[in-house]
Amino acid sequence: MTRYIIRRLLQAIPLLFIISLIIFIMMQNMGDPVATMGGRRVTRSEDRIRLTRQLGLDKPVIVQYLYWLVGNDWAKTDMDGDGVAETPGKRKGVLRGDFGLSLVNRKPVTQVIGERLPNTLLLMLVAEAIIISVALLVGIYSALHQYTALDNVITTSTFIFYSMPVFFFALLAMYIFAVNFKAWGLPYLPTVGMFEPEAGKSASQVAWHMILPVATLSFGFIAGYSRYIRSTMLEAMGQDYIRTAKAKGLPRPQIVYIHALKNAALPIVTLIALDLPFLLGGAIVTERIFGWPGMGRLFLDHVDRSDTPVVMGILMMIAVAVIIFQIIADVLYAWLDPRIHYK
């Protein structure tokens, strides 16, 4: 197993290199970062020329990629525009831990991402915990009570929720529980943000402000996961070993939660392990609507301004996480199912 993990990690190195090169080249065609530096007005041509030079955007794409990867402290830049490169570069490159500076705010990329990642993790992990718990409860109940009235209600509800666009659910929830509840004189939830300025940022304020975004993030996934669990549980409950367990007279909870669920959980665990890395990317729509300061919004804001260093930083972080969680999924799979061996 250890050799397998090491081999997978070594294989990831060229993969990450290829991914980074492809994304970098694609980013060059995503827009002109200097175009939006004029604010609402078109950037003056003198400023475009100067900024393009000073920010190193006048270099060929492959040179820009090289600087991103290995830095430019071995090269010089023409900062004064006299055609002679005179100023030594300061970037160390990704391979030496320097992801560069954001073109938008000149902050280090690691700082830009570091400021948002905890907020995203808080939101997404709470949502994921709720999704898994509720989906398990609903899925198992539904499987054990197949074709009952409540199962039919659950099935119908899950299809409705699963097919409902996130933005629609988010705005609907906001208008009902925040805007209208307040207008009707009922206890109401906040519309946006993480806390009220007068109250200050406290754990209770953050938790209160998380209710609507977490609900928005959860509803679709609960619907999807619960259908998946229902189906795998139904399959497991029809297996010979369950019949044997029943014949042996084992208590029903033991049959359901030890024998059936363990086997039914195998594909679910894989699914969750593969979903986890994308939690780092945040939830673009939910964060945007509820003004939650997470990674999804960060990504969107910086893509809009063609901020290659920040976008590269986010995408590479997700790429690394995908590779790591895929390995974790494989390991978990072998752990849960002793029949599986990796060489």
Partner 1 sequence: MKNRRLFSFLVSLVVIAAFLAACTPAAPATEEPTAEPTAERKVATFIWTQEYDTLNPLYTNMWFVTVLYPIYTCQAWWFDDQNNPVPYLVTEIPSKDNGGISEDGRIITLKLRDDIQWSDATPITSADFKFTYDMVMADGNAVSSRAPFDLTESLETPDERTVVVTFTEPFAPWLARLFAGQSGAALLPAHILQPVFDENGTIDTAEWNKAPTVGCGPFVFQEWESGSFARFVVNENYWGPRPKIDELFFRFVPDDASQVAALKAGDGDVGTFFAMSDMPELEAAGVVIMKSLSGYNEGWYINQHPEKGNPALQDVRVRQALAYGFNRQKLVDDLLLGRAAVPATDWDNTSWEDPSIEPYTYDPEKAKALLEEAGWVDSNGDGVREKDGVDLVLKYGTTNREVRQDTQAVAQQELAEVGIKLELLSFDSDIFFASYAEDGPSANFSLDIIEYSDSPDAPDPNSVVWRCAEIPSDENPAGVNPTGFCDEEFEALWAKQETQVDVAERQQTFHQITKMIFEKAFWIGLWQDPDYFGFSSRIINVKMSGATPFFNVVEWDIAQ
Q: Which of 241, 97, 229 is nearest to 155 (CA)?
A: 229
Q: How far is the CB of 307 from partner 1 (least distance, A)?
A: 9
Based on CB atoms, which residue is closest to partner 1, 3 or 41? 41
CB of 238 to partner 1, least distance (A): 22
Residue keyed to tokens 């906001």: 174
Nearest approach, Cβ of residue 181 and partner 1 (Å): 9
> Least CB distance from residue 13 to partner 1, whole Å?
27
Long-range contacts at 321-326 (CB < 8 A, ≥ 24 apart): 321/276, 321/277, 321/280, 322/274, 322/277, 322/278, 323/8, 323/12, 323/15, 323/16, 324/277, 325/273, 325/274, 325/276, 325/277, 326/8, 326/273, 326/274
CB of 21 to partner 1, least distance (A): 20
Collapsing DSSP to helix, strand or coil, 23 comes out as: helix
Would you say 6 or 165 has its CB closer to partner 1? 165
Tokens read off for 323:
């590779």
Instruction: CB nearer to partner 1: give 47 or 165.
Output: 47
Residues 4 and 13: their CA atoms lie apart, in Å, by 15
Task: Give one DSSP letter per residue of 113-168, joined into a string.
Answer: HHHHHHHHHHHHHHHHHHHHHHHHHHHHHHHHTTTSHHHHHHHHHHHHHHHS-HHH
Which of 339, 343 has the CB closer to partner 1?
A: 339
Strand partners, 76: 88
Look up residue 173 and give its two tokens: 């929830």
Nearest approach, Cβ of residue 230 and partner 1 (Å): 18
Closest approach of Cβ 11 to partner 1, in Å? 26
**Tokens for 290?**
């509820």
